[in-house]
Chain A
Amino acid sequence: MNDMSDGYVTADGRQIGGVLMEMKNITLKFGGVTAIKDISFDVRAGEIRAIIGPNGAGKSSMLNVISGFYVPTEGEVWFKGVKRGPMRPYQVARLGIARTFQNIALFDGMSVLDNILTGRLTLMKKGLLSQAAWWWSGAAQEEYEHREKVEKIIDFLEIQNIRKTPVGRLPYGLKKRVELARALAAEPKILLLDEPMAGMNVEEKEDMSRFILDVNDEFGTTIVLIEHDMGVVMDLSDRVVVMDYGKKIGDGTPDEVRTNQDVIDAYLGVAHD
Chain B
Amino acid sequence: MFYREAGDFKTSYGEDSQTFPIKFDRLRYFAVLAIAFGVVPLFINDYWANAVAVPFLIYAIAAIGLNILVGYAGQVSLGTGGFMAVGAYAVYKLMTAFPEVSIFIHVILAGGITAAVGVLFGLPSLRIKGFYLAVATLAAQFFLVWLFNKVPWFYNYSASGQINAPDRTIFGVFVTGAQTSAMAKYLFCLVMLTLVALVARNLTRGTVGRKWMAIRDMDIAAEIIGVNPLTTKLSAFAVSSFFIGIAGALFFAVYLGAAEVGEAFGIQKSFLILFMVIIGGLGSIFGSFAGAAFLVLLPVFLKNVLVGTLGWPTDLAAHIELMIVGGLIVVFLIAEPHGLAQLWRVAKEKLRLWPFPH
Contact = CB atoms under 8 A, between A and B. Distances in A.
Interface of A: 67, 69, 88-90, 92-94, 98-99, 101, 105-110, 114, 117-119, 121-122, 124, 126, 128, 131-134, 139-140, 143-144, 147-148, 182-183, 186
A93 B224 contact: yes
Given A126-B206, A132-B202, A139-B202, A186 B221 contact: no
B218 interface: yes
B87 to A, nearest CB: 18
B226 A94 contact: yes
B211 A118 contact: yes
A88 B205 CA distance: 27
Contacts of B206: 126, 131, 134, 139, 143
Contacts of B217: 106-110
B227 A107 contact: no
Contacts of A89: 220, 223-224
B226 A186 contact: yes
Interface in B183-226: 199, 202-203, 205-208, 210-211, 213-214, 216-218, 220-226
Interface stretch (B11-19, B262-270, B303-311): B11-19
Contacts of A92: 224
Given A105-B221, A128-B208, A143-B17, 15 more contacts: A90-B227, A90-B229, A107-B217, A107-B218, A107-B221, A108-B217, A109-B213, A110-B213, A118-B211, A126-B206, A131-B206, A134-B205, A144-B13, A147-B17, A186-B225
B213 A107 contact: yes
A89 B214 CA distance: 14
Interface string B259-296: 00000000000000000000000010000000000000
A160 to B, nearest CB: 13
B235 interface: yes
B225 A122 contact: yes
A67 B224 contact: yes
A3 B238 CA distance: 56
Contacts of B239: 128
Interface residues of B, number: 31
A247 to B, nearest CB: 27
Interface string B135-161: 000000000000000000000000000
A108 B205 CA distance: 16
B102 interface: no
Contacts of B17: 143-144, 147
B45 interface: no
Contacts of A114: 210, 213
A99 B226 CA distance: 11
B228 interface: yes
Contacts of B203: 128, 131-132
Contacts of B229: 90
Nearest to B74: A109
Contact of B227 (A99, A121, A128, A131): A121
19 contacts: A89-B223, A89-B224, A90-B223, A90-B226, A90-B228, A93-B224, A99-B224, A105-B221, A107-B221, A107-B222, A108-B218, A109-B283, A110-B213, A121-B226, A126-B206, A128-B235, A131-B202, A132-B203, A144-B12
Contacts of A147: 13, 17
A126 B13 CA distance: 18
Nearest to A125: B207
Contacts of A98: 224-225
Given A114-B213, A131-B208, A140 B221 contact: no
A121 B211 contact: yes
B205 to A, nearest CB: 8
A184 to B, nearest CB: 11
Contacts of A134: 202, 205-206
B223 A121 contact: no
A144 B208 CA distance: 15
B35 to A, nearest CB: 24
Contact of A106 (B216, B221, B223, B283): B221
A115 to B, nearest CB: 9
Given A126-B206, A128-B208, A131-B207, A118 B199 contact: no
Which of B205, B222, B225, B227 has the largest number of chain A CB atoms within 10 A?
Answer: B225
Contacts of B235: 128
Nearest to A139: B206
A105 B202 contact: no
B202 A121 contact: no
Nearest to B209: A131
B216 to A, nearest CB: 7
A70 B58 CA distance: 47
B207 A122 contact: no
Contacts of A99: 224
Top 9 A-B pairs ranked by shortest CB distance?
A: A105-B221, A93-B226, A107-B217, A134-B202, A122-B226, A144-B13, A89-B223, A147-B13, A118-B210
A196 B10 CA distance: 35
Which of B199, B214, B220, B239 has the largest number of chain A CB atoms within 10 A?
Answer: B214
A87 to B, nearest CB: 11
A139 B203 CA distance: 10
A109 B218 CA distance: 10
A111 B47 CA distance: 44
A92 B225 CA distance: 9
Given A109-B283, A139-B202, A143-B206, A88 B223 contact: yes
Nearest to A110: B213
Contacts of B222: 107, 118
B218 A132 contact: no
Contacts of A182: 225
Contacts of A132: 199, 202-203
